[in-house]
Chains A and B, each alone.
Chain A
Amino acid sequence: MAIAGLFFYLFATITVASAFMVIASRNPVYSVLFLILAFVNSAGLFILLGAEFLAMILVVVYVGAVAVLFLFVVMMLDVDFAELREGFLQYLPVGGLVGFILAAELIIVVGAWTLAPELTASPKLPIPNPSEMTNTEALGRVLYTEYVYFFQAAGMILLVAMVGAIVLTLRHKEGVKRQIIADQVARTPATAIEVRKVESGKGI
């Protein structure tokens, strides 16, 4: 148990510290790298909780895809972040007020937290014993049965997102040479190469 506690504080401290560095560092590339550090350490926290599937998904999706996408954007777009931050103080009062209200609400809400006893006693779906079943199997058992509607609906939403991205950004430029496999395969030596006799001592 002592080792688990030690690792919990290790992961938790690094997560909080790197999350702070995400917003504190001046260089946006450093920010993204700290974000990745925060993700990896959160994955460690999930493993301590016994949620190994979530931990792996966090690394694969957030570190592997989202953070890399962020890095791409940060490096590709020449955004002057120092300039973006210039108006920061100007928005501080309003932003601070909104943040303060949300924080106050959260405190009130969490302070009033009373979970009905019968809720914890009989959750809608029984949680399987982690020693008998892996996370992945437990999720798979409900994802395609109990939650099949949500799963399919999410799939349709992703289809819309894909259609939208293509509709709004794909442009067929004129004058770009494209690969047409059929034409390329169908070429014969007669059309593909030209044989010229070059007399010795002379160029073409």
Chain B
Amino acid sequence: MEMAAVPNLMPALPEIILALGAMVLLMFGVFRGNDSADTISLSAVLLFAIAAIVILFGPQGEQVTFNGAFIVDDFARFLKIITLIGSAVTLIMARHWLAAEQFHRFEFGVLVVLATLGMMMMISANGLIALYLGIEMQSLSLYVAAALQRDSLRSTEAGLKYFVLGALSSGILLYGCSLIYGFTGSTQFPDIAASVASQGVSLGLLFGLVFLMAGLAFKISAVPFHMWTPDVYEGAPTPVTAFFAAAPKVAAMAMFARALVAGFPGATDQWQQVVVFIAIASMILGAFAAIGQNNIKRLMAYSSIGHMGFALVGLAAGTAGGIKGLVIYMTIYMIMSLGAFACILAMRRDGEPVEEIADLAGLAQTDRMMAVLLAALLFSLAGIPPLAGFFAKFYVFLAAIEAGLVTLAVLGVLASVVGAYYYLRIIKIMFFDDPDGVLDPMPSSLAIVLGVSAAFVIVFVAWPGPLVTAAQAAADALF
């Protein structure tokens, strides 16, 4: 009997490192108990750093392995590094909160590693099966992370809600996948693309594509599949919310882009309509629904829905320029979001966490530095020049206009004007309202994250070259 050839494992080396590392950390935690939670968090950060180095210095160019199921190209490499940075920073930010809340569960670090492994599998997925397995890997870890504070009613509610709706969306996604497989005869994106090119888009394939996009839209919390987001963001423990808002969004958006661009280049006209619709709906709902929020975590949830809409504008263009805009947008959004969550994690009064926007009142008088840096981030989130958030929006709208989607771009600009209101409202509360209490001083780890994030959004205008070049290379790899 012939021996099967061992597949080339080198392209998947970062994933293998994370998988083995997660198991080692799990064993370590089981034997050492919850006292080792902090050690495990730091080891996980180290693991992410090793994986990022392996990605940076590993074999370059497009690598396909596991019989075409797994692809590593410049797009995957860039977004994987962004994802790893997001996960690592979340773990560093979480340390202070976990210590202050006496919340020592060593599984938190392990779950973040496993979720990150799922995200990297999503980014590298070159077929429907790999895509689904990546999604489930990431989602299952996130469901558990949301419910991690199991004695808190809100945390368990968040976990259960996320789980039930996530299972529903996975069902919709699988229904779409099975239709696509049935009408194209393959689950690999290149084969699907070839089939679409030669056969055209049949009605069944179109149904499959719409179901697939509905499932993917749920994962990036785009309207009309956003219902879970505010409740899950509010109920989950704050470090977990910070995690939700950063790395998983980047990975899901990357997967969305690869599935559509690599799998259905012949059906661009068809999926463009759907992406345009969910982009407009997300931008508008994100802008208007956030106005009435008093809880800052809920506000960040609606803000993330809106930002996903803006990022989708780049995808809707369907061109290399659009994907470049999408990559730049997701990178800048993740950095801004991590900075904003550094402030939310630092919001404590007499040791107790507070989450109302009103608790920030008069921050400019009590903690001038934090107020100024947070204001810079909020201006950037609103998209006000010359901060980084403006350039993020600039690139996606530019791509949309070049692709002839002028209405989409105009609606996007209008939505960002409405959205600016609620960001400015927080700034007004911080600078012009009277303080009704003093927030505890910001711990150094969070202050560093906030400082780096704010420095990035301010300095980006002077030095945009590296990010734009890397995003260009990433986008070119997809086409």
A contact set with B: CB distance below 8 Å? 105, 108-110, 112-116, 119, 123-124, 144-146, 148-150, 153-154, 156-157, 159-161, 163-164, 167-168
Cβ contact within 8 Å between A157 and B66:
no
Q: In chain B, what residue has the closest Cβ to A167?
A: B107
- Give the residues from 1 to 42 in chain B that come closer than 8 angstroms, CB to CB, to chain A: 4-5, 7, 12, 19, 23, 26
Q: In the complex, which residues of chain B have a beta carbon less than 8 angstroms from the beta carbon of A123?
A: 185
A160:B114 contact, CB within 8 angstroms: yes
Residues in A with CB closer than 8 Å to B148 are 167-168
Cross-chain pairs A/B with CB under 8 angstroms, 21 sampled? A105-B207, A113-B204, A115-B182, A115-B183, A116-B185, A116-B195, A119-B184, A146-B67, A148-B7, A148-B66, A153-B137, A156-B114, A157-B140, A160-B137, A160-B141, A163-B114, A164-B111, A164-B143, A164-B144, A168-B144, A168-B159
Q: Are B204 and A112 in contact (CB under 8 A)?
A: yes
- 6 closest Cβ pairs, A-B complex: A119-B185, A164-B144, A149-B66, A145-B4, A153-B133, A109-B204
A144 — which chain B residues lie within 8 A by C-beta? 4
**CB atoms of A150 and B133 under 8 A apart:** yes
Q: Is the CB of B203 within 8 A of A108?
A: yes
20 extra A-B contacts, CB within 8 A, seeds A149-B70, A163-B26, A168-B150: A109-B203, A112-B202, A116-B195, A119-B185, A145-B5, A149-B66, A150-B129, A150-B133, A153-B134, A153-B137, A156-B114, A156-B137, A157-B133, A159-B23, A160-B114, A164-B140, A164-B141, A164-B143, A164-B144, A167-B105
Instruction: Name the distance in Å between B267's Cβ and chain A's nearest Cβ.
Output: 16
Q: Which residue of B lies closest to A164 (CB)?
A: B144
B147 adjacent to chain A (CB < 8 Å): yes
Nearest CB on A from B459, distance (A): 39
Complex: chain A residue closest to B199, CB-CB? A116
Question: How many Å lie between the Cα of A157 and that of B140 in the bound state?
Answer: 8
CB distance from B51 to the nearest CB of A (A): 15
B143 (CB) vs chain A CBs: closest residue: A164
- The answer for the CA separation of A78 and B26 in the assembled complex, in Å, is 36
Among A124, A146, A164, which residue has the most Cβ atoms of chain B within 10 A? Answer: A164
Distance between Cα atoms of A153 and B198 in the complex (Å): 32
- Please tell me which one of the listed residues A148, A159, A163 contacts residue B107 in the complex, with CB atoms under 8 A apart: A163
Q: Collect the chain B residues with CB atoms within 8 Å of residue A153's CB.
A: 121, 130, 133-134, 137
Chain A interface, >50% SS class: helix
B136 within 8 A of A: yes
Q: How far in angstroms is the closest Cβ of chain A from B18?
A: 10
Contact A157 B136 (CB under 8 A): yes
Q: Which residues of A contact B63 (CB under 8 A)?
A: none
Q: Is chain B's interface secondary structure helix, strand, loop, or mixed overall?
A: helix
Cβ-closest chain B residue relative to A105: B207
CA distance A110 to B143 in the complex (A): 35
A124 to B191, CA, bound (A): 10
Q: Which residues of B contact A (CB under 8 A)?
A: 4-5, 7, 12, 19, 23, 26, 66-67, 69-70, 105, 107, 110-111, 114, 117, 121, 129-130, 133-134, 136-137, 140-141, 143-144, 147-148, 150, 159, 179, 182-186, 191, 195, 198-199, 202-204, 207
CA distance A154 to B140 in the complex (A): 12
Q: How far is the CB of A98 from chain B (nearest CB, A)?
A: 12
Q: Are A109 and B133 in contact (CB under 8 A)?
A: no
With a CB–CB cut-off of 8 A, which chain A residues contact B105?
167
Task: Name the CB-closest residue of B to A158.
Answer: B140
A156 to B130, CA, bound (A): 13
Report chain B residues within 8 Å CB of A105.
Answer: 207
Known: A124-B186, A153-B121. A112 touches B203 (CB 8 A): yes
Q: Is the CB of A149 within 8 A of B147?
A: no
**Please, how many angstroms separate the alpha-carbon atoms of A144 and B147 in the complex?**
35
A42 vs B438: C-alpha distance in the bound complex, in angstroms?
A: 67
User: How far is A92 from B107 in the complex, measured between Cα atoms in Å?
Assistant: 42
Shortest beta-carbon distance from B127 to chain A in Å: 9
CB-CB nearest in chain A for B4: A145
- Verify A156–B202 contact, CB threshold 8 A: no
Q: Which residue on B lies nearest to A120, using beta carbons? A: B185
**A108 contact set on B, CB distance < 8 A:** 203, 207
Complex alpha-carbon distance, A156 and B140, angstroms: 11
Contacting pair B117 A156 (CB below 8 A): yes
A157 CA to B7 CA, complexed, in Å: 21
Q: How far is the CB of B92 from chain A (nearest CB, A)?
A: 22
Interface centre among B121, B134, B183 (most CB of A within 10 A): B183
- B residues within 8 A CB of A154? 133
Chain B nearest Cβ from A171, distance in angstroms: 9
Q: B343: shortest Cβ distance to chain A, in Å?
A: 29
- When C-beta atoms are compared, the residue in chain B nearest to A161 turns out to be B140
A58 to B91, CA, bound (A): 42
Chain B residues whose C-beta falls within 8 Å of the C-beta of A110 in the assembled complex: 204
| Residue pair A168, B110 in contact (C-beta under 8 Å) | no
Assembled-state Cα–Cα distance A156/B111 (Å): 12
Interface centre among A113, A148, A153, A164 (most CB of B within 10 A): A153
- Give chain B residues whose Cβ lies under 8 Å from the Cβ of A116: 185, 195, 198-199
Inter-chain CA distance A164–B182, complex, in Å, is: 34
Are B140 and A167 touching (Cβ within 8 A)? no
CB–CB A156/B204 < 8 A: no
Roughly how many angstroms separate A168 CA and B149 CA in the complex, as a whole number?
9
Contacts of B144 in A (CB 8 A): 160, 163-164, 167-168
Query: Quick check: A150 and B4 within 8 Å, CB to CB?
Result: no
Chain A residues contacting B133 (CB-CB under 8 Å) are 150, 153-154, 157
The one of A113, A145, A149, A159 in contact with B69, judged by C-beta atoms closer than 8 angstroms, is A149
